[in-house]
Structure 1
Amino acid sequence: MQAAIDYEQLVNAIGDAVVISDKSGAITLWNPAAERMFGFTQEEALGKSLDLIIPERLRGRHWEGYEKTMSTGQTRYGHELLRVPSVHKDGRALSIAFTVALLYSPERELTGVVAVIRDETARFQEDRSLRKRIAELEARVGA
């Protein structure tokens, strides 16, 4: 027998950021993990554009893809983990990984996107340091 699930409690308790945006890209849900990850409170994020967490240099490409997804109802990132740069409220760079799902009204009209996001900044920096060290060692051996 399956117990009823309190989805609001689940979204608020989960360790990954859960962000929902509407068709225009305005944030409609911002869970506590999103607050911790990006530094913006729910009050600061709700109703704002996703530009809040998108580095300025990547916004054009992001919105091109977002608008295409909203017009076609298709995304290639539904099952694929997407790794991209992001930005914290204090301006520092973040490396995030996320999956997205399209959201629909009961009438099957596309209403927005939900992203489940994990901060991979530490892992990304560690990988970059290891690659640099390997390159240094290879250069030494090849010299």
Structure 2
Amino acid sequence: MSGVFFDISERRQGEVALKHSQERFRAVVESAYDAIISADDRGNIASWNKGAQTIFGYRAEEVVGRPTTLLMPERYREAHQSGLERIRAIDDVGHVGRTQELYGLRRDGEEFPLELSLSAGKVPEGIFFTAIIRDITDRQRVQEALKRTVEKLKKTVQATVRALTSALEMRDPYTVGHQRRVTDLACAIAQDMGFSTEQIEGMRIIGFLHDIGKIAVPAEILTKPGKIGEHEFNIIKTHAEAGYNILKEIDFPCAVAKVVAQHHERLNGSGYPKGLSGSEILLEARILAVADVVEAMSSHRPYRPGLGTEAALQEITDKKGILYDPEVVDICVKLFTEKGFAFA
């Protein structure tokens, strides 16, 4: 008798524990802010929590037993039914289990954005589905506001670049044309090197501003015809650090000021202003160095006629690995000789 008693007692304890577990589970489901909805393999709603009522506006007695298509805009319903039929046909739920963003339909007919996490399982009665649905209306509003803020910041950066470029143009029209052409070549090199869209945009800002420090150089030196003396050249060389000092406090989306400071550094340490070498020089500065030299040699300067693109490409090829980054040089040469790049 004692054995039977203990067997019944253990069974009773198990039933009580199961009941408590189910009650706890129901409490969790009912207290969730997200909608938790289950449906059978026909797509009919089997359970509905308070979160679902809050999000969709229906009470449980209004939706249980009705198709889940009630909760979705017309444009999703055909694909939904086709998906259910496919799952029933192959009796496989393995591909279900992903999170996606869609639109739902409230009781009052309003569409709203939602995040859907769908899972499926098998019971003796067939396949059942459980959907956890989150209303992401507020999240999308925040994302849209953030997007507008980012666009506004981009426009502010562009306006800042234009203002600085215009200030330089008033003193030295030649330099602005040079900066535009260097920018075009530097961005083309960056693109061929696999830079992202954001990185190329950063390269564009850098290109347009790389000589902004020449604002600090007397105009009579910048526009002087004929040979420039050593003292005058030393004054011109200060433009790299001057550019850094002008730009360092502006919160650009990339290291604009540092690249501007380094664009006359050379791989072997013979450049200026700090004599950096090798990997001490940022990649963007190494790209800019090549683009800058090619444009400068190709174009007319106040103190000499242009030497032509062929001479410029020969110069960077001869100094490849010595003054200029080999990969950057190779890409630059291919742009001109194989891909039809030309200065506008």
- Output aligned runs, 1:15-54, within 5 Å: 15-54=33-72
User: Against the structure 1 CA distance between its residues 133 and 53, is the aligned structure 2 distance closer, same or farther, given a 3 Å change threshold?
Assistant: same
Q: Which structure dedicates a bigger proportion of its chain to strand?
A: 1
Match of 2:115 in 1: 97
When residues 131 and 47 of structure 1 are mapped into structure 2, their CA distance, relative to the original with a 3 A threshold, is same
Question: Cα RMSD (Å) of the superposition?
Answer: 2.3
Cα distance, 1:13 vs. partner?
2.2
Match of 1:81 in 2: 99
Unaligned runs of 5+ in 1: none
Normalised to the residue count of structure 1, the TM-score between the two structures is 0.81
Encode CA deviations 1:14-63: one digit per residue, 9 max, x unaligned: 22211111111111101111001100110111111111111111212222
Query: Quick one: percent identity of the two aligned structures?
Result: 25
Aligned 8 A contact 2:93 2:121 in 1: no
Distance in 2, Cα, partners of 1:19 & 1:34: 7
Q: Which has the higher contact order (CA 8 A, sep 6+)?
A: 1
Question: In structure 2, the residue corresponding to 1:67 is in which secondary structure?
Answer: helix
> Could you tell me whether the CA contact under 8 Å between 1:77 and 1:99 is conserved in 2?
no
The Cα offsets for residues 60-117 of structure 1, whole Å up to 9 and x where unpaired, read as 2222223223333225341x32211111111222111121221321x4x632201111
Q: Establish whether residue 57 from structure 1 lines up as the match of residue 75 from structure 2.
A: yes
SS in 2 for 1:24: coil
- Kept after mapping to 2: 8 A contact 1:103/1:111: yes
Q: Which runs of 5+ in 2 are unaligned?
A: 1-16, 163-344
Aligned to 2:85: 67
Mark the structure with the bigger radius of gyration: 2
In structure 1, the partner of 2:268 is none
Deviation at 1:10, TM superposition (A): 2.5
